[in-house]
Amino acid sequence: MMLPLLDKTRPLARQIYTGIRERILSGSLPPGMRMTSTRDMARQWGVSRTIVINAFEQLSAEGFVEARRGSGSYVAAGASWGGAAQRSRKGRSDAVDLAPPPTPPRGCGAFRTDRVDFRSGLPDLTRFPVATWQKLSRQVWSVLTPMDLSYGQPEGNRELREQICRLVGTKRGVRCHPDQVLVTAGTTQAVGIVTRLLIAPDRSSCILEDPITNDIVRIVENAGGTIEPVPVDDQGIRTDALPRGARPAMIYITPSHQFPTGATLPIQRRVSILQYARSHATYVVEDDYDSEFRFDAPPISSLQGLEPSCVIYIGTFSKTLFPSLRIGFVILPPALVARGRELKWFSDLHNSSPDQLVLARFIADGHFARYVHLMGKVYARRRAALVGALDRAFGSGVRVLGSPAGIHLCARFAGVRFTRSVVEAIDRAGVVVYPAEAHAIRKGRFTDTLLFGYGMLDIPRIEEGIVLLGRAFARLNAR
């Protein structure tokens, strides 16, 4: 019998078991064949006999080999299977088709360090106060009881909901009670829950800002929603373009800092949206994803604070702290609370309780406020550096859109079309850029616009990136 080669760095008994099992499955060790003795195998492989016996015990327990008293082990009958294992070896695989979706989800895809990568949506992950988080984790774990390790409530841990309620109440003017807070796995899950709460077979139309994060479009469509795009201009969603006569299931907006254009919705349009929601008996979903960072004035108060009965407010810790924490929240009008909790329960029961407790303490002890304050100053400087660098490199050929806020900005470049080949040429010059057109539902209005994330880039890197971008433009123009 030909023995498989062993890799001494991996568990030996497992390799022997797998090697023999595969040969039996494929039929190359036929039923009834007498197996080499464990003693001989051990000698041939140069391993201890115990290792071979362990592998044989497993094979025997699973029915691949049978021991016959006094005459050794034999390949058992009926153990070969020319199924998946065989076919995949011939190149035909039953594996799930892992072809990437047309546009990768926002959360996926690596941040490139071999280029100046202006990827948006990431805060500075190098500045997070890991030591503080570790200290708080130790404190939390030192007082956890065994029952704290059991299942928790779908709406989330009470301490965290109280902290969130206080935070959004003081910072964002949100009016709520902790019982209205549903802790979620970020905005992504919150939007999934909200769409399932609001979309019904006879009420599926969802008004979305255009452009908008691709992921939101996908989540809405996945929940059976029909997309009703409403264009965005320099002030945010154009309320004069809201569909008349429709019965929308919801209106999803990012009024503090429109994604991606960065516009802040003025009060007149906020009032129009609320009037529209009232007269159409629908809900406004307010995604307040990065409102904590506003550089020219205190953060704009939330829309929810104006009319809590018809606004569903969504917040996340992905931009203030870090996205892999997977904690966000939704503040539901009382009428939707019970069903919202049920949907969260169906989805994943609840968020990790220890993580929620650490976050609650992080907020309660003032670390959250201090960190957001510090990072607000950092991001303000980076944004100013980016605007300055764009101005130096492109002068009147560039127009920065939106308010001084958040961790990204959009800029329009006169006379440029960011086609795939242009973006690839820029990439070869050492910069990764992101066309805003990728977020457009109705294509064509943002072909000259780029989205620049600066959360993960320090000022020298931002400036270097824009110099390289200028050079790439010059080379493209010279062609």
User: Which residues sit at the interface with ligand PLP, rule CB under 6 A?
Assistant: 106, 121, 186-188, 213, 254, 259, 287, 289, 316, 318, 323, 328
By beta-carbon proximity to ligand PLP, the closer residue of 124 and 464 is 124
By beta-carbon proximity to ligand PLP, the closer residue of 121 and 402 is 121
Q: At its nearest, how many Å lie between ligand PLP and the CB of residue 186?
A: 3
Q: Residue number with the shortest CB distance to ligand PLP? A: 186
Q: At its nearest, how many Å lie between ligand PLP and the CB of residue 106?
A: 5
Q: At its nearest, how many Å lie between ligand PLP and the CB of residue 299?
A: 16
By beta-carbon proximity to ligand PLP, the closer residue of 361 and 439 is 439
By beta-carbon proximity to ligand PLP, the closer residue of 15 and 214 is 214
By beta-carbon proximity to ligand PLP, the closer residue of 25 and 219 is 219
3-class secondary structure, 477: helix
Closest alpha carbon to 181 in 168, 172, 191: 168
Q: At its nearest, how many Å lie between ligand PLP and the CB of residue 161?
A: 17
The alpha carbon torsion through 295, 301, 304, 307 (nearest 10 deg) reads -150
Q: At its nearest, how many Å lie between ligand PLP and the CB of residue 194?
A: 12
By beta-carbon proximity to ligand PLP, the closer residue of 123 and 470 is 123
Amino acid (1-letter code) at residue 141 = W
Per DSSP, the residues of 191-252 read HHHHHHHH-BTTB-EEEEEES--HHHHHHHHHTT-EEEEEEEETTEE-GGGSPTT---SEEE
Q: Please state, in angstroms and rounded to a whole number, the distance separating the CA atoms of residues 181 and 164.
A: 8
Closest alpha carbon to 413 in 441, 379, 365, 449: 449
Q: At its nearest, how many Å lie between ligand PLP and the CB of residue 460?
A: 25
By beta-carbon proximity to ligand PLP, the closer residue of 254 and 261 is 254
Beta bridge partners of 331: 181, 313
Per DSSP, the residues of 88-118 read HHTT---S---PPPSS--TT-SPPPSSSEE-
Q: At its nearest, how many Å lie between ligand PLP and the CB of residue 184?
A: 8
CA distance readout (Å), 369 to 321, 366, 393, 404: 11, 5, 36, 20
